[in-house]
């Protein structure tokens, strides 16, 4: 890929000081790129630091170390007003719980237009309403919905409101933090299709954070597998699903249930225990498997995994 | 076939809301046999949770049970007892049934544990009240249970509070509490929805393991069909307060008959194939505030017949264990097949298991 990436994360670290003696290394040296119009899926179990990465990038946290550049601008240090505006408009976030992230005392139109209000992106009231209506159409809600309150919607519709609120700023990058985990299977499919359509139309890049690998496979171009704050394997969707190398990736893949009862009853998921596996993430380096595929390992481990 | 533990007949439940009566459950029949797992699947709002909450009698105060019976067969002091749970008072339910004979695991392990009590105390509580065990007996049993659910160093964990444990650990503790009184029936209401895949796989294997050891019967509620494939012996597909298709897990996955089941199976992401777009069932579930005329699924059904909008389909028999409520199975109905993509997908999985599916699967 020749063009400069939209988002470049280099050696990002996010440590939380829990007490004077103990520092939690939630994210410990993670690097990846996202190009314009691409979807990067970040998967891992709870506690692996995937949400923390999303939050550090959008600067809900102050990164402990490392560099994050967005559209060529460094956004990991102290932010000046210009950088702040860029970050707050061109990067948006969709949250997991569609009920908790919408203000219950505001009408949908005001929730969606809040970003416009703050950044004064319209001249007349008419224009504001028009913009909101256009976005509502785009996410598959009707105009009558604009004057309702969040509690009057179903879970899937609420998530659409969350997406509309992110889209109205015409962002270049949307961070979707477990955006579909709380929804039903059939609704999940609707939201995933909607995100794909939006991407085709607007060329927005997505950082898709999830623990459900089967949905991640549908939406992502590239996937990063995260474990205990380390990116253990990264590659295209094909690389990860067809040629997984790291034992943790393999155990994640084996944990997905398949819609085949006879086979499923006999299958036992591969277990992976970091403590007993003898692997030390901090000693590993990113080994290149192919043009697009990297795995975290030291020389010995790498040779052993490849040979298998 | 083994004995029936729980049988629900013609259950109908309404909720009183400010907008009128909502008919959440419209005539549900369900059987649970000893040592088997029944999975109830459906979208949110289809009435899966309401059905099992009715078994536990923990519906909210605006519930009205219009009709039906829930017969629970159990043994007491060596005698067989057959009891309609809907005829018991709430007090009797709590003293005799809930927790002791029928236990329930909820979706969110954080909200179902008491944050102010140690987990050891919470596990022992039920045994001391229901089984009249002494504290030391209960303590020993609690240690056993924690080991059974795969928690290491149980003595140390007994003194922990819920917030000190991870999500997967908490759900294991909840399962240990549920198993404390050796219940006959375990109800799991989306026990793994809040957990991630690796933990989910472990919890599912744990429940199956325990079932093999204790021969407990399990009702499993979920919207994830992959989970159903893993745990269930029987499947009931629910839509708008009715069971629209039920059968053995193999019949539902390899030979589904109801268009709604087709839709559910199609909308599931398939790891094996390279589809560009996911299938979604068009439209949204009906508002049960209004009276449903004909087949509730008809407006969303591309294969709907004229009669679907006028008359409700009865349960048509496909095999001894497989029933589906759709007019498409009527003798006079036109031949309608599932979509090509789903057909291909099912053919592929059937091929994977080879001849195993053709032999009628033994149901113990």
Tell me which residue of A153, A108, A259, A300 sits closest to B226, measured CA to CA. A259
Which helix (DSSP H) or strand (DSSP E) does residue B50 occupy?
A: helix B48-56
Band the pLDDT of B362: cuts 50, 70, 90: very low
Between the two ends of chain B, the Cα-to-Cα distance in Å is 6
- Is the Cβ of A251 closer than 8 Å to some Cβ of chain B? yes
- Is the Cβ of B22 closer than 8 Å to some Cβ of chain A? no
Tell me which residue of A41, A76, A39, A17 sits closest to A233, measured CA to CA. A41
What pLDDT digit, counting tens, does each position of B110-167 carry? 788 999 999 999 999 989 988 899 999 999 999 998 988 888 889 988 999 998 887 7
Instruction: Report the relative pairing of strands A222-227 and A39-43 from DSSP bridges.
Output: parallel
Cα B44 from chain centroid (whole Å): 13
The ranges of chain A with pLDDT < 70 are 1-2, 308
pTM of the model: 0.83
Structure-block tokens of residue A59: 């600067």
Domains of chain A, earliest start first: 7-228 (3.40.50.300)
Structure-block tokens of residue B8: 């629900």
By CB atoms closer than 10 A (0-12, 13-18, 19+), residue B340 is exposed
Q: Tell me the shortest Cα–Cα distance from A303 to chain B, in angstroms.
A: 26
**CATH 3.40.50.300 residue ranges in chain B?**
1-101+183-364
State chain B's mean pLDDT as an integer: 86
Per the CB < 8 Å rule, is B43 touching A184? yes
Q: Exposure string (b/e) for B247-257, b if CB count within 10 Å is 16 or more?
A: bbbbbbbbebb
Lowest-confidence pick of A43-47, B6-10, B252-256: A43-47
pLDDT score of B272: 60
Structure-block tokens of residue A218: 């549908």
Cα A247 from chain centroid (whole Å): 23
Per the CB < 8 Å rule, is B229 touching A259? yes
DSSP reduced 3-state for A196: helix
Residues in A touching B358 (Cβ below 8 Å):
none
Look up residue A104 and give its DSSP letter.
T
pLDDT score of B7: 94
pLDDT score of A2: 54
Residues in A touching B109 (Cβ below 8 Å):
none
pLDDT score of B322: 93
Residues in A touching B357 (Cβ below 8 Å):
262
Residues 295-334 of B with CB under 8 A from A: none
Lowest-confidence pick of A44-53, B20-29, B174-183, B307-316: A44-53
Q: Where are the beta strands (DSSP E) in B48-181?
A: 63-76, 79-84, 102-105
DSSP reduced 3-state for A144: helix
pLDDT score of B115: 92
- Is the Cβ of A45 closer than 8 Å to some Cβ of chain B? yes
pLDDT score of A308: 67
pLDDT score of B325: 92
Decide if pLDDT at B363 tops 50.
no
- Is the Cβ of B200 closer than 8 Å to some Cβ of chain A? yes
Q: What share of chain A is helix, strand, coil (3-state, %, to 5)?
A: 40, 25, 35
Please report the sign of the dihedral spanned by the C-alpha atoms of residue B322, residue B325, residue B329, residue B331. positive
Longest dimension (CA), chain A: 65
Structure-block tokens of residue A177: 């933090």
3-state secondary structure B231-296: HCCEEEEEECCEEEEEEEHHHHHHCCCCHHHHHHHHCCCCCCCCCCCCCCCCCCCCCCCCCCCCCC
- Is the Cβ of B198 closer than 8 Å to some Cβ of chain A? yes
DSSP reduced 3-state for A117: helix
Q: Which residue has the tokens 């505006």?
A: A85
DSSP reduced 3-state for B3: coil
- Is the Cβ of A100 closer than 8 Å to some Cβ of chain B? no
Per the CB < 8 Å rule, is B232 touching A241? no
Per the CB < 8 Å rule, is A214 touching B271? yes
- Is the Cβ of B121 closer than 8 Å to some Cβ of chain A? no
Q: Which residue has the tokens 């601008």?
A: A73
Decide if the complex's ipTM is over 0.90: no
Decide if pLDDT at B86 tops 60.
yes
By CB atoms closer than 10 A (0-12, 13-18, 19+), residue B163 is exposed
Question: CB–CB of B127/B180 below 8 Å?
Answer: yes
Decide if pLDDT at B2 tops 80.
no
Specify which residues A285 forms β-bridges with: A297
Q: B1-101+183-364, what's its fold?
A: Rossmann fold (3.40.50)
pLDDT score of B358: 60
C-alpha distances in angstroms, A130 versus A122, A124, A198?
Answer: 10, 10, 19
- Nearest C-alpha in A relative to B233: A261
Cross-chain CB nearest to B280 (options A154, A190, A262): A190
Cross-chain CB nearest to A46 (options B196, B226, B230): B196
Structure-block tokens of residue B225: 């069909």
Tell me which residue of B65, B81, B64 sits closest to B73, measured CA to CA. B81
In angstroms, rounded to a whole number, what is the distance separating the alpha carbons of residues A129 and A278? 59
Please report the sign of the dihedral spanned by the C-alpha atoms of residue A28, residue A33, residue A37, residue A38. negative
In angstroms, rounded to a whole number, what is the distance separating the alpha carbons of residues A182 and B136? 41
Per the CB < 8 Å rule, is A212 touching B43? no
C-alpha distances in angstroms, A33 versus A42, A105, B37, B144?
Answer: 12, 38, 46, 49
In angstroms, rounded to a whole number, what is the distance separating the alpha carbons of residues B345 and A217? 17
Specify which residues B324 forms β-bridges with: B245, B316
Decide if pLDDT at B296 tops 50.
yes
Instruction: Report the relative pairing of strands B185-189 and B4-17 from DSSP bridges.
Output: unpaired
């Amino acid at each position: 890929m020749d063009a400069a990436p939209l988002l470049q994360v280099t050696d990002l670290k996010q440590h939380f000081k829990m007490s004077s003696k103990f520092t939690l290394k939630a994210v410990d040296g993670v690097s990846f790129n996202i190009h314009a119009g691409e979807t990067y899926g970040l998967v891992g179990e709870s506690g692996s630091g995937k949400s923390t990465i999303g939050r550090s990038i959008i600067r809900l946290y102050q990164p402990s170390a490392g560099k994050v550049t967005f559209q060529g601008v460094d956004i990991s240090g102290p932010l000046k007003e210009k950088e702040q505006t860029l970050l707050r408009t061109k990067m948006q976030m969709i949250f997991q719980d569609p009920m908790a992230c919408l203000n219950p005392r505001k009408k949908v139109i005001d929730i969606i237009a809040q970003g416009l209000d703050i950044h004064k992106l319209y001249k007349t009231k008419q224009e504001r309403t028009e913009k909101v209506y256009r976005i509502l159409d785009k996410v598959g809600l009707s105009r009558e919905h604009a004057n309702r309150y969040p509690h009057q919607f179903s879970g899937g519709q609420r998530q659409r409101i969350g997406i509309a609120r992110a889209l109205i700023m015409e962002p270049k990058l949307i961070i979707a933090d477990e955006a579909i985990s709380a929804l039903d299977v059939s609704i999940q499919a609707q939201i995933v299709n909607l995100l794909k359509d939006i991407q085709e139309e607007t060329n927005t890049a997505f950082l898709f954070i999830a623990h459900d690998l089967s949905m991640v496979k549908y939406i992502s171009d590239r996937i990063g597998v995260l474990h205990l704050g380390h990116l253990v394997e990264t590659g295209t969707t094909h690389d990860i699903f067809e040629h997984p190398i790291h034992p943790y990736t393999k155990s994640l893949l084996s944990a997905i249930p398949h819609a085949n009862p006879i086979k499923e009853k006999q299958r036992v998921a591969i277990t992976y225990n970091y403590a007993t596996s003898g692997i030390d993430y901090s000693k590993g380096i990113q080994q290149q498997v192919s043009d697009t595929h990297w795995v975290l390992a030291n020389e010995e481990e790498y040779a052993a995994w490849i040979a298998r | 076939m083994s004995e029936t533990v729980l049988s629900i007949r013609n259950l109908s439940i309404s909720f009183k809301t400010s907008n009128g009566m909502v008919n959440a459950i419209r005539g549900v029949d369900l059987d649970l046999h000893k040592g088997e797992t029944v999975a109830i699947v459906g979208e949110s709002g289809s009435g899966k949770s309401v059905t099992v909450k009715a078994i536990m009698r923990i519906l909210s105060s605006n519930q009205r049970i219009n009709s039906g019976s829930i017969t629970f067969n159990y043994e007491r002091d060596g005698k067989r007892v057959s009891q309609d749970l809907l005829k018991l008072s709430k007090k009797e339910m709590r003293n005799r049934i809930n927790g002791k004979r029928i236990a329930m695991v909820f979706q969110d392990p954080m909200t179902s544990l008491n944050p102010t009590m140690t987990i050891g105390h919470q596990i022992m509580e039920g045994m001391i009240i229901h089984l009249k065990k002494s504290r030391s007996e209960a303590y020993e049993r609690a240690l056993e249970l924690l080991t059974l659910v795969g928690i290491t160093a149980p003595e140390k964990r007994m003194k922990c509070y819920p917030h000190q444990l991870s999500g997967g650990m908490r759900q294991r503790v909840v399962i240990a509490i549920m198993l404390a009184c050796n219940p006959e029936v375990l109800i799991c209401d989306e026990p793994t929805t809040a957990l991630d895949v690796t933990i989910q796989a472990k919890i599912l294997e744990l429940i199956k393991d325990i079932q093999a050891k204790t021969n407990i019967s399990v009702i499993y509620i979920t919207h994830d069909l992959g989970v159903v494939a893993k745990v269930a012996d029987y499947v009931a597909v629910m839509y708008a307060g009715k069971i629209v298709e039920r059968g053995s897990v193999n019949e539902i996955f390899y030979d589904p008959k109801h268009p709604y089941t087709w839709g559910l199976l199609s909308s599931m992401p398939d790891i094996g194939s390279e589809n560009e777009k996911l299938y979604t069932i068009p439209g949204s579930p009906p508002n049960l505030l209004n009276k449903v005329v004909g087949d509730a699924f008809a407006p969303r059904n591309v294969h709907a017949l004229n009669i679907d909008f006028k008359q409700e389909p009865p349960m048509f028999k496909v095999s001894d264990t497989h029933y589906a409520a759709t007019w498409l199975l009527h003798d006079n109905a036109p031949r309608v097949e599932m979509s090509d993509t789903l057909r291909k997908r099912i053919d592929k999985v059937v091929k994977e298991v080879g001849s195993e599916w053709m032999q009628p699967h033994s149901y113990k």
